[in-house]
A and B are shown apart, each in its own frame.
Chain A
Amino acid sequence: MVSDVVRIGSSSDMLSKPADRRISEKLIHVFLFLCASVSVLTTVGIVLVLLVETVQFFTEISVFEFLTGTRWTPLLRPQHFGILPLLCGTVWVAVGAGIIALPLGLCTAIFLSEYASPRVRGIVKPLLEILAGIPSVVYGYFAVVMISPLIRQVIPSADVFNAVSASLVLAVMILPMVVSLSEDMLRSVPGSLREAAYALGSTKLDVTCRVVVPAALSGIIASFLLSVSRAVGETMAVTLAAGATPNLTWNPTESIQTMTAYIVQVSLGDTPAGSIEYRTIFAVGMTLFVTTLTMNILAQWVLARYREDYE
């Protein structure tokens, strides 16, 4: 009799015996725990995979040479393993992107949060979200067919692939991120603060620059850090736009190579596993991972430490 009822289907688990139910609850608990532990295992996996090969790499190349060498030519003879040229490339494009995207993004965020009518905001925000959803390789295309030729018209001496094009295209890529994160922060400043400032005779400019932006400053700085960290880790667009010449240079119109672009270059060739060239991927990957992780943790720390609470 009971078994007939049980077979009815969706109501089965309601009517099963308490002992069965306790077991199934336990099983589900364990299953869900395993799901959650995947995220922890991913972190462990990343660190282990990077660490194992990086340690192997450093048995052959000294850490000192890696961190202070000024030439990076692992794929050519004579081989040199100084990461500074790759770091230089990465810093060029990330800082360049930041210089353009951060002020532009902050002004856009201020406009959307403080000036725009709900209708304008309702149109512009989704448009910027589209920009955020466009894949990285598409920006690479944009850099190659549009930005680089433009740069070469303005500065005829520039290389076909150069740091400026890469910075520009990265700036476009991180712009929506700066806007959306900063705008969230500006909007979370309570209206009462603005009204109090208006009551004292402030103009909108005063309210924005002396009340709202300072109140949201920790969030804005965090959004800057996260966006630049995104730029550091960006791969396909930079690979297409910046070139493949590790280059310790002060001239942004020259061809350079970033850490990410180098990793792609090696994996596109056929480097045998276990060779020193293969291990450079992991050593550079480790450097990249540590750099972006530091920036992300810094962003979280700024948010937690300097957050203003208006409850």
Chain B
Amino acid sequence: MSTSTEIREQVRTRQWMDRAFAWLCGGATLVSVSILVMLIGKIVIEGVARVNWQLLTSFPSRFPEQAGVKSALVGSLWLIVLTAFISVGVGVGAAVYLEEYVPKTRIRGLIQTNIANLAGVPSIVYGILGLGLFVRAISLQQSLIAGALTLSLVILPIIIMASQESLRAVPDSIRHASYALGATRWQTIRHQVLPASIPGIMTGVILALSRALGEAAPLVMIGALNYVAFLPQGLRDPFTALPIQIFNWTSRPQPEFHELAAAAILVLLAMLLGMNAIAVFVRYRYAKHIRW
């Protein structure tokens, strides 16, 4: 016969287990967050002393005390601007087509699945595509434009999916009102739907571009150079980029180069942080004006 003390005992055990589980989950979260703190902390401690004007204005060198990220920084800036030019129009165009033009049929479902799968393809496989297609087949060689085209393909699925989500958030009543006033489909998109969804699209685009800024694997595949002591002058020039410079310095055994790598990482992270800040700003700045 179950007495009240037995029940009380059982309740106490359950309460104890409940609390233990809460602590377990809280502990897991603490571990996750402290990894981030450790990571950033280590990089700052190692690298902050080396972040100076000389780092930004010197070419890489065999002598760690003279080396800098000038060519890598300029290469990364070139790449990011070119990638933006190539990918944004195509990505947003594809999203508009899928959301506003194609009826919800099987074909659209297939394209959608295809895009979701492309987002899961490892970036190095895009590098192989870039090598086979841009570098060899259309013989762009190891040029900036080949790098930018490859990076564009890497981030295209991200841009498309983010833009689609943003377009979907615009209520149909806006479209219907526009059609009722005699606007065509494109006029409706151009003057109503796109302006309303621009903040979301911009946020997605900036996040996608910051992914491109950090990518090294596809660039290694298409043959971005390790050691570049000149600045690219045009689209067909060879180049290097920040992540590649970091990879190169990290893979050397000397600790002086590891310090340089940490400093270069800080430069890269600062750029990423800047882009994210812009994304947050855009979201806040424009989100206020929209009220459905």
Contact = CB atoms under 8 A, between A and B. Distances in A.
Interface in B218-266: 220-221, 223, 226, 243, 246-247, 250-251, 258, 261-262, 265
A75 interface: no
Given A138-B43, A141-B246, A205-B14, A45 B120 contact: no
A134 B40 CA distance: 10
Interface string A190-220: 0000000000000111101100000000000
Contacts of A111: 22, 25-26, 28-29
Interface in A88-136: 103-105, 107-108, 110-112, 114-116, 124, 127-128, 130-131, 133-136
* Among all A-B residue pairs, the 8 with the closest Cβ atoms: A233-B122, A135-B214, A35-B93, A107-B28, A49-B132, A111-B25, A32-B97, A235-B217
A29 B26 contact: no
A157 interface: no
A236 B247 contact: yes
B121 A289 contact: yes
A19 interface: no
A233 B121 contact: yes
A229 interface: yes
Interface in B50-104: 89-94, 96-98, 101-102
Contacts of A24: 186
A39 B125 contact: no
Please report whether the interface of chain B is mostly helix, strand, loop or mixed according to DSSP: helix
Contacts of B160: 39
Task: Indicate the member of B43, B129, B133 with the most A CB atoms within 10 Å.
Answer: B129
B258 A144 contact: yes
Contacts of A235: 122-124, 216-217
Given A107-B24, A135-B214, A236-B247, A39 B156 contact: yes
A267 B216 contact: no
A248 B247 CA distance: 26
A292 B120 contact: yes
Given A138-B246, A140-B247, A141-B258, A38 B223 contact: no
A164 interface: no
A49 B128 contact: yes
B192 interface: no
A267 B220 contact: yes
A236 B216 contact: yes
A166 interface: no
A293 B29 CA distance: 30
A245 B214 CA distance: 26
Given A39-B156, A260-B124, A288-B124, A134 B93 contact: no
Contacts of B220: 236, 264, 267-268
Interface string B96-119: 111001100000000101111110
Nearest to B252: A144
A195 B169 CA distance: 30
Contacts of A114: 25
A38 B156 contact: yes
A107 B97 contact: no
Contacts of A40: 111, 114
Interface in B123-138: 123-129, 131-133, 136
Contacts of B180: none
A42 interface: yes
A282 B128 contact: yes
Interface in A278-305: 281-282, 285, 288-289, 292-293, 296-297, 300
> On chain A, which size bracket covers the interface?
35 or more
A240 interface: yes
A35 B97 contact: yes
A86 interface: no
A141 B265 contact: yes
26 contacts: A14-B183, A33-B97, A35-B93, A46-B121, A107-B25, A124-B29, A124-B32, A133-B207, A134-B272, A135-B215, A137-B247, A141-B43, A141-B250, A141-B265, A145-B42, A146-B42, A172-B35, A176-B32, A205-B22, A233-B121, A236-B247, A239-B247, A263-B128, A264-B217, A267-B223, A282-B132
A184 B121 CA distance: 22
A179 interface: yes
Contact of A104 (B31, B42, B117, B118): B31
B260 to A, nearest CB: 11
B167 interface: no
A36 B122 contact: no
B117 A289 contact: no
B46 interface: yes
A232 B43 contact: no
Given A107-B24, A107-B28, A137-B243, A293 B117 contact: yes
B264 to A, nearest CB: 9
B122 A234 contact: yes
